[in-house]
Structure 1
């Protein structure tokens, strides 16, 4: 029997055992028979649920994920095997993070690192932050910086939150700093992709306006000036509106 066949046989054998489990996990009306001691031993989350959320019928309802993802988690707990794909990796790493199944988090992180590209690196970076996956976060950030010129045209750049917008400016600076003599001529074009006004007056004055590359580029200076004028105008209008409400 080959190693692959042995693993398949073992997987089927163990899965058959857990179908006769002592408890049930219910996800979106789908029920999974499990052994509390096995899942509790592998996951601090389940250990807490089984200990503090005692039910007479030993049925535990889990919300916030699909039955397919729950099946992947349970299958891994019994067999040590998980199938990660482009379609399930995001939901799987989020679920594994929620259940504190570190091995699946690492496997998903490795999968995402191997599949980084200009069109998904920002989304993977955001996902890594949400999962507190520091290694994946650093790898995705390095990719953004190293290939920023290719990342700029991608739709994900426009989906950054206000809090994350400063990332664009920092990425521009890192990308240019890697080969300054060759890349600083691209400053105007890249800076135009940076939504300056979204970062706020304080960030602009402290980090953007005083930057050497910005100070040496007339077009960038003008964009900064326009952003500050817009923000000052909005602040004045907000103050006037509040004054009218008080009176």
Structure 2
């Protein structure tokens, strides 16, 4: 009986390639339906290619034999995030349809509660899947913060950049890479960021209220990261 090469991407290559194809198809639909410009198309295409390349490499290194149903849900979320990214990039050149942008972001946020549930129900939860889910979440928050920063100010970017700043700090401070305990408060604060940014970006509330809501969301995020950093500092010796 032949032994499968652990670096063979055929079991999951079809999923990742299909995901990239669907992403490009979405960009074409946006071009025809809402007039997505060159900047948006190029940004969305770059997002699709980079996502495919990074995900394929990560799957190879993890020796994953199957992509799994939960990762397919996360990949669908990534396609939606690619659409949001394209629209936000295009918004620097001309006005984009806010309703479409909000709809794509909202569905992506809703599906965030689905992939984890699917992973647990099917017994396919993996470290790679959790990381994939986290990266999609982080990038969506970054893109939304860029969009909301245009009317509210550059300070909103702190929401999208905080997680990346934490990762960058962990390169210099290895104790920041320790495992954190499960926290419902952390998950709630993280979910709140996307909801608040979508509402603020939709323009359905007065600017003053949007400013206040986003400011509160940022304060909660600072508290959440600060609490985790403090916990990692206290347990750094035992973790080492």
Q: TM-score, normalised by structure 1?
A: 0.28
Q: TM-score, normalised by structure 2?
A: 0.29
Rg larger for: 1
Q: Which structure carries more helix by proportion?
A: 2
Higher percent of residues as strand: 1
